[in-house]
C-alpha cells in the first residue's frame, strides 16, 4: 500500500487510532473484570467469616472438649456450598481446629492472624495457584471474650470465571470495531487521493510555497478565471497592473471595470499570445490559455506583462546591442589592409550612419609616412596633423577636405582630447567658442548643416598619439551622451592599434623596398652580346627577395641571373643582397654555371648554419633555405648559352620565327637543400633569339598554378607580332600576366641575343715552339691594321708575346690565340694546362718574372678562366690607346 501520499498517511494514522482505541477499551474491560472479581471475593469471604463467627454452635464447639469433631464437618459443608477454597477455625493462639488436610490439624496457622482477633479483616495475597482473598473474624463469647478465630479464603480466578466467559464476546466486538474503522479510513483515503492527486506532505508544502510565491513574489500578473467567468485566483502583480479592488475572488470579470476587450479575453478560453490591451495608462501584453485539461474543469489562466515599463529598458538594451554589433562589424571591416589611409577611411565608413551622421579622421604626417613620432601632437614643435578620411550620410560636405592641415588650438575639442588622452564630448557646438574661432567660416558652414553634437577622441596606440577622430551628429539625431563616450573610446582604441600596425608595416615595407631597390641593379651594364630589358614589381604587402642581374664577362660574354628568396620583409631583402653579391664575386672568377650554383649552395648552407646558431641566442630564426636561382652565360662569338638552375622555373626561348619553347633544363634542388649535384645545359641560340628569365611570382599565384602560368606566359610571348624589342616584350608580358593584387614579387628579364660578325674574330693555332711567337705577332699586327687599330699594335704585340711565351713555357698543347674586336680589343691565349699563372714583382737581379706584370700594366683588365680542356688567359684593351701609357710603367 502506498503511504507516501497524504491520503495514504491519513489512512495509516486512522487505522492506528482505531486499533489503539479498541485495545484501550479491551484493556479497560479486562481490568474492570479483574477488579470486580476481587471485590466479589472479598465480600463473599467476609460475609462467610462473620456469619460463622457469630454462629452459636461454633462458639459452643470451640469451648467444647473436641472442637475439630464439630467444626471440621461444618467447614467442609460451608466451603463446598460457598465454593470457598478453604475455611479454617483456630484457637486464639493460632492452633488449627480444621484444615484441608488432616495432618495440618493441631498445627499453627501460617501467616499473621492476630489482627483478626480484634475484628473482621480482609487481605489478599499471591500464591502459586493465583491471587487469593482471605477474610477473618473473631469468635466471641457472650461476655465478649474471644474463644477463637475463623478464616475464609477463596481464589479470585474462581470468582472471575464468569467474566472470563464474556471475553470472546468482547474481542469479537473489538474486531468488528477495527474493521469498521478500517473501512472508514479507506473511504477517507480515497477521498483525499482525489483531492490531493496523490501528493505527499513535502509536495503539498512546496505547492503551497509556490502558490504563495505566485500570489506575492512573481513580477508578472497571474489571473485564473473559472468556466462561469468568475475570478478564482489573482496575484498581487495582477491586482497592481489591472488596478483591481480588494477581494475580487468570486466576482465576475465583467464587473471589475476593465476594458471590454481585455475583460472578454480574460473571461473566455481563447488562446492568446502577447496580445496587447490597454488598462488605464498601461499597455499590457496578455497571454491567455485554457486550464483544461491541466487544471481540472473549464476555465482559463492569463499572464500579464507591463510593456510600458519595459519600453525604456528595451530601448537601452537595443542601443547596447547595436553598439556591440557595431564593434563586431568594426573588427571585421577596419584594418583589412595594412594601409594607413585606407584603415582611417574604414573607421569613418563603419561609424556612419550607424553611430554618427558624419565622421572625420585626422592623422599626423609621420603616421602617414610610417615614421616614428618623436614629439607630442598638438604642441608647437609637434608634427603636423592633416585630414586623412571623411565620411557622411548626406550628399553635401560641410567639413574641410582631405589633406587640409588641422590645428588643435587651445580650447578646441581636439586639444582637450590630445591633452587628456580621453574622448571629449561637446553637446552643443554653438557654445564651443574656441572651435568656432579656429576657422569661423568653416564653423558657420558646419552649424548651418544642423550639426549640434560632437565627440572628439584621440587615436592612441602603444603609448603614442597618432591623431584624432571626430564623430558628428546633426538634424534630428539624438545628441551624444556619456554612454556614447565609453563606446567611442572602445571603438577608437581598436582602430588605433590597426592604424599603428599599418604605420609600422608601412615603415618596414618602405625600408625593405628601399633596401631591395638599393641592392638591385640601378641600370644595366653596357655590353654588346645582348639587348636586355627588365621589369621588377614588389608585392603589394611585404617586399620579397626576388632579384636579377646582368654581368659582363671576359670575351664579350654576358651572364644572366634571376633568383628568388623565400619570405618577405627586411630579412628577405637583405638575404637577396647577400646572394647577389656572392653571385657577382663568383662570376668574377668566371666559373661555369653549375659550379657557380654549387658554390652558392655551399654558401647558403653555411649561412643557414650560422643563422640557426644565432637564433638560439636571440630567439629569432631567419634561414635562407628555399632560395632559387637560374644562371646563364651567353657567348656572342659562338652563340652558345650555358645554363644551370637550382629549383627555379625554366627559361623561355622565343625564336626569331616567333615560336616559343621552354628550355629543357634539369631541375636542381633549391639552394641550401643539398644532396644532389647541379647539371649544365648548353644551347646554341640563333641571333635574335629572346631568352626570357622570370620569377615564380609572374606565373604562379592563388588563382593560377604553375602549369597554367607557364601556358599563359607562352601565349603572351607568342602573341607578340613582328620582331618586338625586349622592352616591348616586357610590356606585353606584364600587361597579360601581372595580377591586380599581387602577393609576391615579380622579376622579368628579357635578353635578345646577338652574334659578333666573322671579321670581328681572328683565331690562330700556335705551334709549341718559341719561334712561332714572332709570326703570330706579325699576323696579329696585320689584323689590327685591317681593323684600323694600328695604334694598339705595339701594346697588343707585347701582351700577346708575353702570353704566348708563358703558354709555351709553362703550359701544354694545344695553344690557340684569339682576337676579338667589339667595344674593346680582347686577346685570348688558351692552352691545355690548368696551371694557374701568378702575378709577382721581380727583383732587379731576376732574369724573368715580369711578363704578367707587364700585361697587367698595359691591359685595362686581364685574367684567367678555366675550360674543360685547359685554361684561357685573356686581356682587354680599350679601342683607343691612352696617352702616356708607357710613362706610367716603372723603370
For residue 637, what pLDDT is reported? 92
State the burial class of residue 240 (Cβ atoms within 10 Å of its Cβ: 0-12, 13-18, 19+): middle
CA distance 51 to 44: 11
pLDDT of 842 higher than 70:
no
Q: Regarding predicted confidence, which is higher, 610 or 420?
A: 420
Indicate the pTM of the whole model. Answer: 0.55
Query: Residue 845: which pLDDT band, with cuts at 50, 70 and 90?
Result: very low
CA 525-531-536 angle, to 5 degrees, is 70
DSSP letter (8 states) at residue 556: G
**With bands split at pLDDT 50, 70 and 90, how would you rate the model's confidence at 663?**
very high
State residue 294's pLDDT score: 66
Rounded Cα distance between 401 and 223, Å, is 64
pLDDT at 323 > cutoff 90: no
Instruction: With beta carbons less than 8 A apart as the criterion, state whether 91 and 113 touch.
Output: no
Is pLDDT at 596 greater than 80 in this prediction? Answer: yes
* Residue 1 confidence (pLDDT) above 50: no
Do β-strands 660-662 and 681-684 pair in parallel, antiparallel, or remain unpaired? unpaired
Residue 375 makes CB contacts below 8 A (sequence gap 6+) with 381, 382, 383
Task: Evaluate whether 6 touches 192 at the Cβ level (below 8 Å).
Answer: yes
Lowest mean pLDDT among 335-339, 468-472, 667-671: 335-339
Q: What is the pLDDT of residue 160?
A: 59
The 10 Å Cβ neighbour count of residue 704 is 15
> Helices marked H in 787-819 — which ranges?
793-810
Band of the pLDDT at 850, cuts 50, 70, 90?
low
Q: Kind and range of the H or E element at 293? A: none
* For range 406-435, the mean pLDDT: 81
- H-run or E-run covering 654: strand 652-654
In sequence order, which residues have a C-beta less than 8 Å from that of residue 746 and are 6 or more positions away? 535, 536, 537, 546, 694, 695, 697, 698, 734, 738
Average pLDDT (685-702) is 90
Rounded to an integer, the average pLDDT of 518-530 is 80
484-512: pLDDT as tens digits: 888 888 888 888 888 888 888 778 777 76
For the cut 60, the answer to whether the pLDDT of residue 624 exceeds it is no
The residues, ordered by sequence, that sit 6+ positions from 231 with a Cβ below 8 Å of its Cβ are: 223, 224, 225, 248, 249, 250, 251, 252, 253, 256
Chain mean position to CA 605 = 40
Q: Give tens-digit pLDDT for 30-81.
A: 666 667 777 787 888 888 878 887 888 888 888 888 888 888 888 888 888 8
**Interatomic CA distance for residues 108 and 92, integer angstroms:** 11
Task: Name the 3-class secondary structure at 568.
Answer: strand
In 3D space, the residue among 122, 113, 117 whose CA is nearest the CA of residue 40 turns out to be: 122
Q: What is the mean pLDDT of residues 142-165?
A: 75
Taking alpha carbons only, the member of 757, 725, 636 closest to residue 685 is 636
Q: What is the mean pLDDT of the chain?
A: 80
Q: Averaged over 92-103, what is the pLDDT?
A: 82
Helices 67-82 and 56-63 cross at an angle (nearest 10°) of 150
Q: Who wins on pLDDT, 637 or 314?
A: 637
Identify the CA nearest to 498 among candidates 325, 338, 324. Answer: 338
Please, which pLDDT band fits residue 846 given cuts at 50, 70 and 90? very low
Question: Is 555 within 8 Å of 874 (Cβ atoms)?
Answer: yes
pLDDT at 891: 47
User: Which of 706, 766, 694 is closest to 734 using CA atoms?
Assistant: 694
**Among 8-12, 502-506, 513-517, 579-583, which range has the highest average pLDDT?**
579-583
pLDDT at site 552: 93
Between the CA of residue 729 and those of 488, 661, 685, 718, 734, what are the distances in Å? 54, 15, 18, 10, 9
Share of the chain above pLDDT 70, in %: 81
Residue 538 has pLDDT above 60, yes or no: yes
∠ CA 863-865-871, rounded to 5°: 110
Comparing 254-263, 393-402, 541-550, 580-589, the range with the smallest average pLDDT is 393-402
User: Which pairs from 160-166 meet CB under 8 Å and 24+ separation?
Assistant: 160/33, 160/34, 160/36, 160/37, 163/33, 163/34, 163/36, 163/37, 164/33, 166/33
What tens digit of pLDDT does each residue of 180-233 get?
Answer: 767 766 776 676 666 665 666 666 666 656 666 666 667 788 888 888 888 888
- pLDDT for 613 equals 57
Confidence of residue 166 (pLDDT cuts 50, 70, 90): low
Cα 459 to the chain's mean position, in Å? 27
382 pLDDT above the threshold of 70: no
Distance CA 148, CA 117 (A): 8
What is the residue whose three cell numbers read 486512522?
A: 14
Query: Across residues 707-712, what is the average pLDDT?
Result: 90
Run of H or E residues at 89: strand 86-90
Confidence (pLDDT) at 684: 94
Q: What phi and psi values does residue 306 have, to the nearest 5 degrees? A: -95, 105
Residues in the chain: 891
CA distance 328 to 258: 47
The confidence score (pLDDT) of residue 562 equals 95
pLDDT value of position 619? 47
pLDDT reported for residue 631: 96
pLDDT at residue 847, rounded to an integer: 47
CA dist 494 and 372 (Å) reads: 20
HSE (side-chain half, CA atoms, 13 Å) at 834: 4
- Residue 633's pLDDT is what? 96
**Contact residues for 267 (Cβ-Cβ < 8 A; gap 6+):** 225, 229, 252, 253, 254, 300
Gap between the Cα atoms of 49 and 32, Å rounded: 26
From the centroid of its chain, how far is CA 814? 77
Q: What is the pLDDT of residues 342-354, one digit of tens each?
A: 999 998 898 888 8
Four-CA torsion 175, 178, 184, 188, nearest 10 degrees = -150
- The count of C-alpha atoms lying within 13 angstroms of the C-alpha of 211, restricted to the half-sphere facing its C-beta, is 8
- What residues does 871 pair with on adjacent strands? 831, 866
Q: Which residue has the cell 685573356?
A: 874
**Segment 540-576, tens digit of pLDDT:** 766 677 889 999 999 999 999 999 887 776 777 777 8
Amino acid at each position: 500500500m502506498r503511504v507516501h501520499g497524504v491520503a495514504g498517511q491519513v489512512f495509516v494514522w486512522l487505522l492506528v487510532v482505531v486499533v489503539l482505541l479498541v485495545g484501550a477499551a479491551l484493556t479497560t474491560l479486562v481490568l474492570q473484570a479483574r477488579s470486580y472479581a476481587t471485590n466479589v471475593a472479598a465480600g463473599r469471604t467476609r460475609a462467610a467469616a462473620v456469619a460463622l463467627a457469630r454462629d452459636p454452635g461454633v462458639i459452643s464447639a470451640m469451648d467444647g472438649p473436641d472442637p475439630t469433631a464439630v467444626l471440621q464437618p461444618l467447614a467442609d459443608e460451608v466451603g463446598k456450598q460457598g465454593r470457598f477454597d478453604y475455611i479454617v477455625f483456630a484457637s486464639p493462639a493460632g492452633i488449627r481446629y480444621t484444615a484441608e488436610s488432616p495432618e495440618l490439624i493441631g498445627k499453627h496457622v501460617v501467616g499473621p492472624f492476630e489482627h483478626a482477633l480484634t475484628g473482621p479483616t480482609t487481605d489478599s495475597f499471591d500464591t502459586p495457584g493465583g491471587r487469593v482473598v482471605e477474610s477473618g473474624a473473631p469468635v466471641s463469647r457472650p461476655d465478649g471474650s474471644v474463644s477463637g478465630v475463623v478464616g475464609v479464603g477463596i481464589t479470585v480466578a474462581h470468582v472471575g470465571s464468569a467474566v472470563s466467559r464474556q471475553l470472546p464476546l468482547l474481542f469479537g466486538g473489538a474486531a468488528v470495531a477495527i474493521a469498521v474503522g478500517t473501512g472508514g479510513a479507506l473511504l477517507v483515503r480515497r477521498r483525499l487521493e482525489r483531492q490531493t492527486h496523490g501528493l505527499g506532505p513535502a509536495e503539498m508544502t512546496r505547492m503551497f510555497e509556490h502558490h504563495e510565491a505566485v500570489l506575492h513574489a512573481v513580477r508578472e500578473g497571474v489571473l485564473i478565471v473559472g468556466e462561469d467567468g468568475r475570478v478564482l485566483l489573482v496575484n498581487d502583480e495582477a491586482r497592481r497592473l489591472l488596478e483591481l479592488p480588494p477581494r475580487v475572488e468570486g466576482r465576475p470579470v465583467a464587473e471589475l471595470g476593465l476594458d471590454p476587450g481585455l475583460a472578454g479575453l480574460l473571461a473566455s478560453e481563447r488562446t492568446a499570445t502577447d496580445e496587447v490591451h490597454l488598462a488605464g495608462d498601461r499597455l499590457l501584453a496578455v497571454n491567455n490559455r485554457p486550464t483544461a485539461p491541466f487544471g481540472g474543469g473549464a476555465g482559463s489562466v492569463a499572464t500579464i506583462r507591463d510593456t510600458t515599463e519595459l519600453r525604456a529598458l528595451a530601448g537601452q538594451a537595443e542601443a547596447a546591442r547595436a553598439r556591440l554589433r557595431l564593434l563586431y562589424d568594426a573588427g571585421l571591416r577596419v584594418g583589412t589592409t595594412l594601409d594607413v589611409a585606407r584603415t582611417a577611411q574604414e573607421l569613418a565608413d563603419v561609424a556612419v550612419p550607424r553611430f554618427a551622421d558624419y565622421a572625420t579622421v585626422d592623422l599626423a604626417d609621420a603616421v602617414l609616412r610610417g615614421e616614428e613620432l618623436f614629439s607630442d601632437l598638438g604642441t608647437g614643435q609637434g608634427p603636423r596633423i592633416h585630414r586623412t578620411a571623411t565620411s557622411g550620410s548626406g550628399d553635401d560636405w560641410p567639413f574641410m577636405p582631405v589633406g587640409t592641415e588641422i590645428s588643435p588650438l587651445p580650447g578646441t575639442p581636439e586639444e582637450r582630447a590630445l591633452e587628456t588622452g580621453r574622448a571629449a564630448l561637446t553637446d552643443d557646438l554653438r557654445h564651443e567658442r574656441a572651435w568656432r574661432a579656429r576657422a569661423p567660416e568653416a564653423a558657420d558652414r558646419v552649424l548651418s548643416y544642423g550639426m549640434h553634437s560632437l565627440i572628439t577622441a584621440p587615436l592612441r596606440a602603444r603609448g603614442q598619439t597618432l591623431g584624432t577622430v571626430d564623430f558628428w551628429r546633426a538634424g534630428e539625431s539624438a545628441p551624444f551622451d556619456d554612454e556614447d563616450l565609453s563606446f567611442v573610446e572602445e571603438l577608437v582604441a581598436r582602430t588605433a592599434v590597426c592604424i599603428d600596425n599599418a604605420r609600422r608595416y608601412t615603415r618596414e615595407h618602405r625600408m625593405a623596398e628601399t633596401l631591395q631597390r638599393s641592392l638591385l641593379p640601378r641600370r644595366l651594364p653596357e655590353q654588346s652580346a645582348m639587348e636586355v630589358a627588365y621589369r621588377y614589381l614588389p608585392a603589394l604587402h611585404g617586399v620579397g627577395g626576388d632579384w636579377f642581374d646582368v654581368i659582363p664577362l671576359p670575351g664579350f660574354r654576358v651572364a644572366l641571373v634571376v633568383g628568388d628568396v623565400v619570405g618577405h620583409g627586411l630579412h628577405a631583402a637583405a638575404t637577396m643582397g647577400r646572394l647577389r653579391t656572392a653571385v657577382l664575386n663568383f662570376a668574377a672568377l668566371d666559373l661555369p654555371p653549375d659550379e657557380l650554383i654549387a658554390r652558392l649552395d655551399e654558401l647558403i648552407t653555411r649561412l643557414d648554419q650560422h643563422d640557426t646558431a644565432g637564433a638560439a641566442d636571440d630567439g629569432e630564426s631567419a634561414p635562407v633555405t628555399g632560395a632559387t636561382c637560374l644562371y646563364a652565360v651567353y657567348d656572342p662569338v659562338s652563340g652558345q648559352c650555358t645554363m644551370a638552375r637550382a629549383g627555379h622555373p625554366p627559361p623561355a626561348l622565343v625564336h626569331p620565327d616567333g615560336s616559343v619553347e621552354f628550355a629543357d633544363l634539369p631541375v636542381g634542388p633549391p639552394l641550401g637543400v643539398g644532396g644532389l649535384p647541379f647539371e649544365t645545359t648548353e644551347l646554341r641560340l640563333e641571333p635574335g633569339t629572346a631568352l626570357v628569365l622570370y620569377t615564380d611570382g609572374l606565373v604562379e599565384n592563388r588563382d593560377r598554378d604553375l602549369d597554367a602560368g607557364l601556358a599563359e606566359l607562352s601565349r603572351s610571348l607568342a602573341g607578340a607580332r613582328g620582331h618586338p624589342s625586349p622592352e616591348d616584350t616586357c610590356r606585353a608580358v606584364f600587361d597579360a600576366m601581372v595580377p591586380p593584387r599581387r602577393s609576391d614579387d615579380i622579376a622579368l628579364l628579357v635578353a635578345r641575343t646577338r652574334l659578333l660578325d666573322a671579321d670581328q674574330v681572328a683565331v690562330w693555332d700556335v705551334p709549341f715552339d718559341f719561334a712561332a711567337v714572332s709570326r703570330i705577332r706579325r699576323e696579329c699586327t696585320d689584323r689590327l691594321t685591317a681593323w684600323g687599330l694600328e695604334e694598339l699594335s705595339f701594346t697588343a704585340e707585347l701582351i700577346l708575346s708575353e702570353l704566348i711565351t708563358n703558354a709555351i713555357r709553362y703550359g701544354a698543347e694545344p695553344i690557340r690565340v684569339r682576337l676579338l674586336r667589339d667595344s674593346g680589343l680582347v686577346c685570348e691565349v688558351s692552352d691545355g694546362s690548368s696551371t694557374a699563372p701568378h702575378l709577382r714583382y721581380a727583383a732587379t737581379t731576376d732574369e724573368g718574372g715580369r711578363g704578367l706584370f707587364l700585361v697587367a700594366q698595359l691591359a685595362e683588365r686581364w685574367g684567367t678562366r678555366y675550360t674543360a680542356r685547359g685554361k684561357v688567359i685573356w686581356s682587354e684593351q680599350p679601342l683607343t690607346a691612352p696617352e702616356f701609357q708607357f710613362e706610367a710603367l716603372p723603370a
